A and B are shown apart, each in its own frame.
Chain A
Amino acid sequence: MSLPVPLSVTLETSRRAMRITRQVRDLQFRTVVPGGYADCTISLHRPLTYLPDEIAYYGRLYVHDARNGKVVWEGRVEDPGRSAGGDGTVWKLVAIGPSAHVEDHRQVYVMIDQSLPNWERSTTWSEPGSRTTVTDVDDGDTPALLLEAPEGTTVPTGWTADMIYRHIKTAGQTVARLACEVDNGNTASWENRLVTRLSSGTIVDSAAWSTSPAALAASIGSGTPIPAGDNVAHVRITRTGGTITATAASWAEFTDVVILAVRMDASGNDITSGYSAATSVLASDVVTDVLGRMLPQFDGPNAVVATTGYGIEQFAFIDSATPGEILDALMEFEPGYFWAAWESGSTGLYRFEWKAWPGSVCYEVDVTDGIEAPGSAVDLYNRVKVRYRDGRGAIRVIERTQVVPELAAAGINRTGWVDLGDEVGGRQAQAERAGDQFLLDHRTPLNQGSLRISRPILDRTAGLKVQPWEILPGTIIRVRGIQPDVDTLNRSDRNGVSIFKVISVEYDAGSATATLELDSWAPSLARQIARLTRARERRLRKR
């Protein structure tokens, strides 16, 4: 085509909705995954002596396709910069897409916690002479909560040792399930108890002491119900018989302690059933909870949340997290998925999706308009070490391996590093999965390059020819004109040579060109600094 770019730009505030297409000096916008609409920049000539009705903090900016009325980009004005100089008085407006909403809020967040250091001794319910510790069981490397009456202690009827979990309360959430296995030193007149509490406590499960390990469990809405609204949990031992002097066998070991919080649906309603056998959560369930709990600007009820398959056994942010950090952590367990927020609907809420990377090529294009494809080997790894904290709080490191033909041929071993921090590691199986996912992503060279498109291309998925401004990230693109391997036409996943993931798309109306970033972010000094800063903040927060 060789006509004016058919995009229209509209600003909307509570005072005015104004079409400003003919007045903008430049227009650039960017979409990314994860995230969706990222940012948009326009410049307008307006006086500085007053605030025009169409410009306001958090005013909406829309870019529409004039051919068909579809939203091409949408967001809110966050940086209405003003300048005066050789070009006169210019407002440079930077609008941020709805993805910014995931950083609007920070709170403590618990879905499932099997980390025993997060339990504390309850001084209110524990007798002064009682002992409560986090330890390992003698017969294995199994973390345990040890509650005991030290040998020689006088133990009257009702004597109690108690450990408490408060983080669900701190998070503003409620307890869905509490379960464990418990072993005792003797079978005397003692009782193991699980207690939950909002104000007064409820014994939700209990059993007399036994020298054979036995399970205790309670869930909301199940046969041994946790009362709705309870937000504090206890594990407790209580003397039920007469007064004795404690022996070396006056102990209880609580292992496999798992506590789950009540999840919300995407509308923000508590899900009050389905926890009775749960020992893990799905990433998709967490996404739904985050939508309903913390992201009111997203259209939760109409969001598309693809169901994931991996059961996450440890997912608790007791030092707080934003929804963005939570979603990032979920993608570490499910790197085949991403989230994105797009245009607003009739309710004014933004469309949200959590979806899997497509299993088929979407765009077909050639390199005529320009490509840079570094394809650096620096991102090839055949080994990875994963650091995590186990249930006892001890730091663990495991190693995973894979075969990378290029490294094998060169006789080189390269080891990557994944730090799961304190929040989400917890279990060896999870650490192994995170390591395996890292290796999968580093089996073939990441392109980390860019592709320019200035002409219509084929969208195989939609059956349409799309213009450069219609190209979306979160898709797979096949590029002709690059050395293909014999499998190029049959493959649907990234191969680092001619099939790539589209990570971001930036469109510039001045050059009528879209620039795609492939496989991962193109290296830049700003991104390297941001990555290092995030890594440093995680290390400081933990220790």
Chain B
Amino acid sequence: MALIARFVDTIASSPSVRLNTHDGSTWRLTNQSRFDPPPAKRARVSTLLTDGAIYPASAYEDRVLQLRWSVNAASTDAAATQIQALARELDRPNNIFQYQLPDMTNPVFFRTQRIGLDEIDILTDGSRLRVTAEVLAESCAYGLPQTLGSATVNNNPAAGSNGMFFDITGVLGDVETPLVMRIDHADVVETWGKQSVFAVRRRGTPSATPFFLQAESMTQGTNTTVQANDAAMSGSSNNFSRCTFTSAAMATRLSTSAHPSSASVDARGRYRVFLRYRKSVSGDEIDVRLQWGDSNQPITNATQSLPAGVSRRYTDLGEVQIPVGVDAETDLTGAPRSALGIHLAIQAERVSGSGNLDFDVIMLIPADDRLALVYWAAVGGPSYAVVNGVADAVYATNASDATSAEAPVVALGGLPAVSPGVTNRIFVMVDVNPLAAQDTIGDSFTIVPSYVPRYLHVRPPST
């Protein structure tokens, strides 16, 4: 297979060619061309108070493609025509340069930036030209887009499969890449405007993430007892707890001495805690809060006042960290230490009213990598909702992928990204709107994930 070096219109297996700069007759990309990896830029902090420096942040710079061509035209006019064609391509604000070495299985694509003709060096020998250009390109080269099989994410952490998560493995590329998730629009639209959470865990063993704790498995506190199965609650058998507020003052209603119960390197991390609950009397004023950490000196998060309504809903109880406080993350060899679970307690008080408070499950969503809250519009119409990490945007499309005009969708935080060589677990909470009319265990998202692999250089055959 011959070398491919050409400007194209899309990142695709058979793109339209805009200018072939290695066509075997007129254009030839010489072997003096270079596709060096991008340099890294770093924030560097150094004082004489300690040896060395620290690098609190780093990112890749744009890369420079040093392209050298020989142009063998039929005449001087033909040579000028070729240079004009090249100038037009290099003058475009953005372009795509496809590159594939001979006998390489797959191409890579560079997204290039505009450069001026004065940045092109042209040596002329009649109708023969030597052209040198240093073309700015995005830091990573791109592989062909990868669309994965759809994943059905169930809105029940106790579901047999994909209980509020789905996994992506075998990610191609050298570095992390933003994820695109296409979701059936009907799954995200309700009259109250769903608020969804997407979070990522892609280190260690993501399946060992202690991301939920059933209320009925916790120590039942003041006026709180385990209840018989309710199909609206998660879990099997006796599957929720009820507090009757015989004593209405703020007290511990549920607790556990350690979550997770065993020390684990995969327990380590920061988590955003959501409680799924249900009031029995809409107008009751009930406050809840989370205590966590060390049971002898617990940390108390902010108190949440539960809104009116008897729907099953989530309330945000703030963040926790496992382990609490100081964490020597590795031992002297650099191996990660296990982290012991933390004490968790749900406290509640009934300020006024007469009803009960049911506790279903506590969700601990990883909040130390990427977590996005998406506020969906409460209007129907489009076919799909798209969480697009590549474009850093959330929007809707019709069935043909045309962008659909819709009330603004707001996405806060970091949209998910996936990394090669690891299992990427994407956690999904369908609706954490505190005013949701109803959170339904039986709900699900059908998600079609896709991504574009990113490479620091070129693409090995299977990665």
Contacts and interface: CB of A to CB of B under 8 A. Distances in A.
Interface stretch (A59-67, A315-323, A408-416): A59-67
A147 to B, nearest CB: 51
B47 interface: yes
Nearest to A23: B392
Interface in A472-525: 481, 510-513
A4 B373 CA distance: 20
Contacts of B102: none
Interface stretch (A5-13, A164-172, A181-189, A533-541): A5-13
A106 interface: no
Contact of B47 (A62, A68, A369): A369
Interface string B34-49: 0000000011010101
Contacts of A64: 412-414
B414 to A, nearest CB: 3
B411 interface: yes
A5 B57 contact: yes
A468 B45 CA distance: 13
A462 B299 CA distance: 7
B207 to A, nearest CB: 21
A25 interface: no
Contacts of A71: 412
Contacts of B412: 8, 10, 62, 64, 69, 71
Contact of B56 (A21, A62, A302, A454): A454
Contacts of B327: 465
Interface in B204-227: none
Interface stretch (B62-70, B179-187, B362-370, B437-445): B362-370
Interface string A440-454: 000000000000101
Contacts of B47: 368-370
Question: Which residue among A67, A370, A465, A512 has the maximum number of chain B CB atoms within 10 Å of its CB?
Answer: A67
B310 to A, nearest CB: 19
A370 B321 CA distance: 28
A19 B395 CA distance: 12
Nearest to B305: A302
Interface string B374-408: 00000000000000000011000000000000001
Contacts of A368: 47, 49-50
Nearest to B370: A66
Contacts of A6: 370, 414
A17 B395 CA distance: 11
B379 to A, nearest CB: 15
B410 A481 contact: no
Contacts of A62: 412
B299 A461 contact: yes
B325 A69 contact: no
A530 interface: no
Given A12-B410, A346-B434, A346-B435, A21 B55 contact: no
Interface string A378-415: 00000000000000000000000000000000000000
B59 interface: yes
B324 A463 contact: yes
B49 A481 contact: yes
A455 interface: yes
Given A68-B367, A69-B412, A368-B49, A455 B54 contact: yes
B292 interface: yes
B59 A512 contact: no
Contacts of B58: 2-4
Interface in B282-296: 292-293
B337 interface: no
Interface residues of B, number: 44
A68 B410 contact: no
Given A346-B435, A454-B45, A463-B292, A67 B325 contact: no
B413 A458 contact: no
B9 interface: no
Contacts of A19: 392-393, 411
A1 interface: yes
Contacts of B371: 66-69
A531 interface: no
B326 interface: yes
Interface string B185-208: 000000000000100000000000
Interface string A44-81: 00000000000000000010111111110000000000
A47 to B, nearest CB: 13
Contacts of B392: 8, 19, 21-22
A67 B43 contact: no
Given A3-B57, A4-B57, A461-B299, A513 B414 contact: no
Question: Which residue among A62, A370, A462, A468 has the maximum number of chain B CB atoms within 10 Å of its CB?
Answer: A462
Nearest to A69: B413
A68 B299 contact: no
Contact of A69 (B42, B59, B272, B292): B272
Given A461-B299, A511-B43, 10 more contacts: A6-B414, A17-B409, A67-B371, A68-B367, A346-B434, A370-B45, A455-B54, A462-B319, A463-B324, A468-B56
In the A-B complex, the 9 residue pairs with the smallest Cβ-Cβ separation, listed nearest first, are A66-B414, A69-B413, A68-B367, A512-B57, A512-B56, A512-B43, A463-B324, A454-B45, A454-B56
Interface of B: 42-43, 45, 47, 49-50, 54-59, 197, 270, 272, 292-293, 299, 305, 319-321, 324-327, 367-373, 392-393, 408-414, 434-435
10 contacts: A5-B57, A18-B393, A64-B412, A68-B371, A69-B412, A346-B435, A462-B299, A463-B293, A510-B43, A511-B43
